[in-house]
Structure 1
Amino acid sequence: MPWADLRAAIPDRVRAELARLRAGLPRFGAILLDCGDTLVDERTEIKQPGSEVVLRGDLIPGAAGMVHTLKALGYPLVLVADGPRQSFVNLLGQHGLWELFDAHVISEDVGALKPDARMFDTALAAIGLTRADAWRCVMVGNNLSRDIKGANALGITSIFMAWSTLRTHEPIDETEQPDFRIEAPGDLPVLLDSLEPLLRFKGRSPMPKAVS
C-alpha cells in the first residue's frame, strides 16, 4: 500500500480498533438519577397552590443533553426521586425526558424516602438487577444525606452533583462521602467513560475514590 494511502487509512483503523477493545469491556448495569438539582433547577420549580405537586421547572444547563447521551450510549436509566409522582411526570414530561427512563422509582409509590434501602432495591429490581449487581451501578444526586448515603450503603458507586448550593457539599461522616463529584450534568458521560475500564477490578475491590 502506498504511504499516502496508509496514512489516510490510519485514523479509521485506530477508531475501529478502539471500538473493538471497548466492546469487550464491562459496562455499568444502570445509571440511577435523582431529579431536583440533578436534572431540574429546584429554584425554578412552580408548585400547585396548596400542594406539594410541582407543575413545572427549568432544567439545569446540560441536563437534557446528558440524559440523551446516556440513552444513546445504551445505559439503562432509572429515576430515583423523592416526592409525588405527578411532580416528576410534569417536570420531566415537559422537557421530553420522562419517556427516556427505563423505570421511575418514586418515594410516593415505594412508601419510603432515600436513603431507605427500599428505594434502591426497587430501582435495581425494576430493571432486573439485584443487590449482587449494585457494584456495577451508579447513583447521581445532589443530596449527600439521601442520594449518596443510600447508594453507599448498598455498594452502588455514588456521584455527587455539586451544581447547586441549596444543600451542603460537606458530608457529616463517611456514610455521606461520595465516591466521585461532578460540577455539571455534562461531566457525567465523561466520568462514566473513564470509570468503566475499572469495573473489571471493582468486583474484587472497591472502586478507587476520587481525589478532591
Structure 2
Amino acid sequence: MTGTDAETDREWDAVFWDIGGVVLDLESVRTAHAAFVADLLDRRDVDATPEDALETWRATVGDYFREREGTEFRAAREGYHRGVAAIVGEPVPREEWRPPFRTAVRESIEPVPGAVEAIESLAERDLHVGVISDVDDEEGKWMLERFGVRETFDSITTSEAVGRTKPDPAMFETALEKAGVPAERSLMIGDRYDHDVRGAAEAGLHGVAFGAEDGPAVAYRIESPLEVLEVVDGERET
C-alpha cells in the first residue's frame, strides 16, 4: 500500500482534547481551591470558617462567569481575584495571592486516569493531537506541562487566545486551521454536551463524550480516555 493509499484509508486525521474534566481531574481542582482558601484565611487572619469562605469563593467566581454575554471569554484569574477580595473584604494584590494559589494547584491537581497514557499513545500515531479548551492560555499550558504532555500536543487552542468560548464555532475553526485538517476527519473529546460535543458536531467534527450527557451529537461515548484509542484504530462503532 502506498503512502497516499494509507492516508486515504485512515479514518481520522486529528484528535482534539478538552482539558478540564478530560485531561484534568476536576475533583483535584476543587481540592486545590479548598486548600488555597484555607491558607488564605490563615495568612490574612480572616474570621471565617473554611467552609463559609469556600462557599463565598465559589459563589463569587460563579457569578463572575455568569455575567459574561454569550461566548465571550472571561479570564478565570480575574474571577479568582474577585473571589479573594470577597473572602478578605478588600482587594488583595495579585502578586500576593497568585504564588500561594499556584502552589496549592501544583500540589493538588491530578490528571484524569488514563488521559496522559492515551495522549502519549496518540502522539505515536500519524495524527494531529490538539487541545481545544476554555482555559486561560498561560494556566492551561502550565497544567499540561505539569502533567508532562504540553510538548506532546501539536497545537493548543485556548479561549483566551481566540477571545471566545465553546461552543462558538471560532474555537473549532481556529483549531482546525492550525491543524490543517478537515473537520469531518477530526474527533473532539469533551465532558460537556452543549459546549464540547454538540459544539464540535455543529462545526463538523465528531463528538466523543467522556462524562457528557447523551444526545444526537454524540458520535462515540467512552468511559476512559484510553478508549479513544479504540475509536482511532477503528475498533469502535458509532
For the criterion TM > 0.5, the same-fold answer is yes
* Structure-to-structure mapping, 1:149-164, within 5 angstroms: 149-162=198-211
Looking at secondary structure, tell me which structure has more helix per residue.
2
Partner of 1:61: 113
User: Are residues 1:190 and 2:230 paired?
Assistant: yes
- Write the letter of the residue equivalent to 2:209: F
User: Are residues 1:180 and 2:220 paired?
Assistant: yes
Q: Which runs of 5+ in 1 are unaligned?
A: 1-16, 163-167, 197-207
SS of aligned partner of 2:189: strand
- Write the letter of the residue equivalent to 2:126: G
The partner residue of 2:146 within 91, 94, 110 is 94
Q: Distance in 1 between matches of 2:7 and 2:206?
A: 22
Partner of 2:25: 41
SS of aligned partner of 1:140: strand
SS of aligned partner of 1:179: strand
The partner residue of 1:136 within 179, 185, 205 is 185
Of all paired residues, the percent bearing the same amino acid is 25
User: Are residues 1:122 and 2:174 paired?
Assistant: yes
Q: Which runs of 5+ in 2 are unaligned?
A: 38-56, 62-75, 78-101
SS of aligned partner of 1:112: coil
Query: 1:170 deviation in Å?
Result: 4.3
Partner of 1:145: 194
SS of aligned partner of 2:234: helix
SS of aligned partner of 1:186: helix
SS of aligned partner of 2:202: helix
User: Are residues 1:80 and 2:124 paired?
Assistant: no
- Give TM-score scaled by structure 1 length: 0.71
RMSD: 2.5
- Give TM-score scaled by structure 2 length: 0.63
